[in-house]
């Protein structure tokens, strides 16, 4: 979990004896009646702080700035109560995971490790990396045994099932070391599409990586949203460049960055929000031009959330960082007199 510089340390208790009263007798009486009915539920600003978004004071600024929604409705009132098990809370459009028992990890899976928690043939499996966590984790989809790179692990079974389903259509980016010298014509062929035994497929983008080309080998980056088995290897073999090494660098809004092979790290609050938001939107990929049907719930690349234009890519900043979850504390901190 990412650590924050905060002026408030959450003690894990939802409730606050010092919550401010509301001015006006009628409003205060109405609020008191509502509070009595929902007194078991946490107040919004404290729930956000408990979820690791920011300090409670900074969360109050986010609310009064109109940057927090509950079930797609902007909430300005500080004393609003929410049900963390039912309500969908977003900061700047990015979902906040209110259930702090849910955990999400990225593993840079080494080659030779099978993407399962137990292998009947005795090959190295994911337990080597998950056992230290101390709870049951699910892998989101699979990587081939001879493929390394980004693999998501979580105890959120519902999310794991959703992200792994073929209809999710999330973009994935791979770097492949292939035999032979790849030409721009081959890259264009990958973009235009190739015909495989199980149907046509095209890359969303493809390019030759500088410095990786020799007489015998090339480095190619391929981005696509298909979940078909061994699809990158089959595509590149079809255009005459069999893969010798393959690494998945990106899955939706998540990127390996400088993470070492074999390293397991827990997602930051922003990465969790980006992943949950991508799942709620059905992925970040616009409808493809051909070869594959668009993900369920999408129409011609329009966002199901607002129906206007191409889906906005969700980034992995922390919730509260501003539009698209970029750069968190700025506005909240500037509006918080306690941090001046």
Are the C-beta atoms of residues 236 and 176 closer than 8 Å to each other? yes
Alpha-carbon distance of 135 to 194, in angstroms, equals 43
What are the beta bridge partners of residue 271?
A: none
Residue 149: partners with Cβ closer than 8 Å, 6 or more residues away: 108, 109, 143, 174, 246, 247, 248, 249, 256
* Strand spans (E) along 82-216: 89-91, 94-95, 104-109, 138-139, 148-154, 172-179, 194-196, 199-201, 205-208
**DSSP tag of 81:** B
Q: CA 98: distance to chain centroid? A: 15
Residues 6+ apart with CB under 8 A from 339: 7, 57, 58, 333
Cβ–Cβ < 8 Å for 189, 169: no
**95 DSSP β-pair partners:** 90
Choosing from 87, 119, 144, 146, the catalytic residue is 144
Stretch (H or E) spanning 74: strand 73-74
> Are the C-beta atoms of residues 319 and 62 closer than 8 Å to each other?
no
Catalytic residue flag (residue 204): no
Catalytic residues: 144
């Amino acid at each position: 979990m990412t650590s924050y510089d905060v002026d408030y340390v959450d003690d894990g208790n939802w409730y606050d004896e010092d919550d401010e009263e509301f001015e006006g007798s009628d409003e205060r009486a109405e609020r008191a009646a509502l509070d009595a009915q929902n007194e078991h539920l946490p107040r919004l600003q404290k729930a956000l702080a408990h979820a690791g978004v920011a300090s409670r004071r900074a969360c109050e600024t986010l609310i009064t700035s109109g940057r927090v929604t509950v079930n797609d409705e902007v909430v300005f009132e500080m004393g609003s109560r929410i049900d963390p098990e039912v309500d969908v809370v977003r900061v700047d459009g990015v979902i906040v995971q209110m259930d702090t028992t849910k955990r999400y990890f990225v593993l840079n899976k080494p080659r030779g490790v099978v993407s399962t928690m137990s292998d009947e043939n005795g090959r190295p499996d994911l337990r080597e990396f998950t056992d230290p966590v101390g709870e049951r984790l699910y892998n989101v989809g699979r990587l081939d045994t001879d493929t390394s790179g980004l693999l998501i692990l979580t105890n959120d079974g519902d999310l794991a099932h959703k992200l792994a389903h073929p209809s999710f259509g999330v973009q994935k980016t791979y770097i492949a070391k292939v035999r032979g010298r790849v030409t721009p014509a081959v890259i264009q062929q990958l973009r235009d599409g190739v015909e495989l035994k199980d149907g046509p497929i095209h890359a969303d983008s493809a390019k030759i990586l500088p410095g990786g080309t020799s007489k015998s080998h090339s480095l190619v980056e391929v981005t696509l949203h298909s979940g078909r088995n061994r699809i990158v290897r089959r595509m590149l073999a079809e255009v005459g460049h069999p893969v010798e090494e393959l690494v998945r660098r990106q899955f939706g809004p998540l990127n390996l960055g400088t993470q070492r092979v074999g390293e397991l790290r827990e997602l930051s609050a922003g990465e969790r929000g980006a992943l949950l938001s991508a799942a709620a939107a059905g992925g970040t990929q616009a409808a493809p031009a051909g070869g594959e049907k668009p993900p369920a719930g999408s129409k011609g690349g329009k966002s199901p959330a607002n129906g206007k234009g191409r889906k906005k890519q969700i980034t992995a900043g922390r919730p509260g960082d501003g539009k698209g979850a970029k750069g968190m504390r700025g506005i909240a901190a500037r509006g918080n007199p306690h941090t001046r």
